[in-house]
Amino acid sequence: MPAEVKTVLQGRLERFNNALQLKSTDRVLVGPCSDHFFSAKLAGISNKDAMLEHDKRYKAMKDVVLRFDFDIALQSGVYPAQWYSILGARHYKWPGGNLPEDKTFQFVEKEYLLADEYDQFLANPNDFTMRVLWPRMTEGLAPLEQLPPFYSIGPDPIFLGPAFATPENLAMLEKLKLLAEASVDSMQAEGDYIAEMEELGYPVSYGANFTPPFDLVADFLRGLRGTMVDMYRAPDKLLAAVDLYVEPQIEAAIAWAEAVNNPRIFFWLHKGAAGFMSDEHYQKFYWPSLRQVVLALVEGGLTPILHVQGDYTPRLPYLAELPRGKVPIHYDRIDRQDAMEIMGDRQCFWGGVSSALLSTGAPDQVEDDVKELIDIFAPHGGLIVDGSVGIPDEARPENVEAMVDAVHQSIGA
């Protein structure tokens, strides 16, 4: 990398890190955390192709960063379609798979773990995940259901051969091979994109991304309704399931951050927002496991970034407990004055420009909204302007331009 590019990259990275850590910066930043299909749409690529053809998607993302002159390169929020199609995923629907080409991918939430299966799951999560959950979630892994528990094959591994010696299992192993190969391809494409963006002087927003322990259980195991009922009918089991994911998540996050050489780890929080549960329940079911993961990562020198989806205003006092300047918060909907009062001198404010405004508003409305954000948060430092969940797919390009312009105008002001 030429020295002058290195200087530009280091300058941008330092400014980004300073903002994330609530240190003073020479100016306000503007940068989306991630992208679903906005870039693809702008490049005239269908959602289907964006999920299938990684090079095209990353090229579109690069073009968007350069066109709008963001301070950072956005990360892809889209998983490759191959991951779903090879496994015959039942728990997702995706464009070009089982949705029309122009739709976004979506998760099929249901009770993959039934209420009366908690004990079985908690007694042996490995076995349950492999032989019950995965066959329910995917067609391709259905043969796992027919396999005996591994320990029952005996301690001698040579008998794995006979255990897998059926046409169904051989087909499944072939699918797993294809899945791994598809992952190598997509990870290579992501690595190339990050390297290219760095060569252009742009640090990427984050490396690893996770779903907090409570949301893992509520999304993937019990579903919203099941989880809500469990808070009353099986609170201890629900908590035990949530806690089960804490340590593995800490280990996985550290390993992933090391593998991609990026300390910034993005967390997508969704079912702890206002309206979902009382403060008492948040304190009991949601917060402790998340707090444990976040503190362990901070302790490990990493930067967990919490994207708080929905209205998180009532939860601000919890976020304020976290070590100052170590856990940037990416906001969706929030009372800005409350956020300033409670979090202004605690953590970086990232996001905050509503998806609805970016998608349906007028440029002058966007500009006014960004100016308000700047007026409130800029004096304390640690402000990164972005859409409330990154740039929405339907955002009007002129509104994204207005968002960036408003930030740039404030620099000159």
CB of 394 to other proteins, least distance (A): 6
Q: Interface with other proteins includes 231 (CB under 8 A)?
A: yes
Q: Which amino acid is at 254?
A: I
To which residue do tokens 């579903």 refer?
223
Which residues lie below 8 Å from residue 274, measured CB to CB, with a gap of 6+? 310, 311, 312, 313, 314, 315
Q: Interface with other proteins includes 345 (CB under 8 A)?
A: no
- Token representation of residue 14: 């330092």
Q: Burial letters for 226-240: b for 16+ Cβ neighbours within 10 Å, e otherwise?
A: bbbebeeebeebbbe
* Closest among 344, 348, 347, 360 to 393, alpha carbons compared: 360
The nearer residue to other proteins, 106 or 409, going by C-beta atoms, is 106
Count other C-beta atoms under 10 Å from residue 217's C-beta. 27
The CA distance from 19 to 348, in Å, is: 6
Site pattern 18..57 for other proteins (x: CB under 8 A): ----------------------------------------
Burial of 196 (0-12, 13-18, 19+ CB in 10 A): middle
Helices (H), 88-220: 118-123, 125-128, 134-137, 150-153, 160-164, 167-199, 213-216
The nearer residue to other proteins, 31 or 310, going by C-beta atoms, is 310
Phi-psi domain of 223 (left: phi exceeds 0; alpha: psi -120 through 50; beta: other): left
Residues in contact with other proteins, total (CB under 8 A)? 25
CB of 398 to other proteins, least distance (A): 17
Residues from 348 through 387 that contact other proteins (CB under 8 A): 359
Interacting span for other proteins (CB under 8 A) from 98-106, 119-127, 256-264, 361-369: 98-106
Of 1, 66, 107, 323, the one binding other proteins (CB under 8 A) is: 107
CB of 388 to other proteins, least distance (A): 12
Q: Interface with other proteins includes 320 (CB under 8 A)?
A: no
CB of 308 to other proteins, least distance (A): 17
The nearer residue to other proteins, 142 or 231, going by C-beta atoms, is 231
Q: Interface with other proteins includes 276 (CB under 8 A)?
A: yes
Q: Interface with other proteins includes 240 (CB under 8 A)?
A: no
Interacting span for other proteins (CB under 8 A) from 19-27, 60-68, 123-131, 277-285: 277-285
Of 23, 56, 67, 93, the one binding other proteins (CB under 8 A) is: 93
The nearer residue to other proteins, 151 or 232, going by C-beta atoms, is 232
The CA distance from 141 to 168, in Å, is: 9
Helix (H) or strand (E) holding 309: strand 303-311
Q: Which amino acid is at 79?
A: Y
Of 10, 188, 278, 409, the one binding other proteins (CB under 8 A) is: 278
Q: Interface with other proteins includes 104 (CB under 8 A)?
A: yes
CB of 102 to other proteins, least distance (A): 6
The CA distance from 383 to 193, in Å, is: 26
The site for other proteins (CB under 8 A) is made up of: 93, 99-100, 102-104, 106-109, 224-225, 228-229, 231-233, 274-278, 281, 359, 394
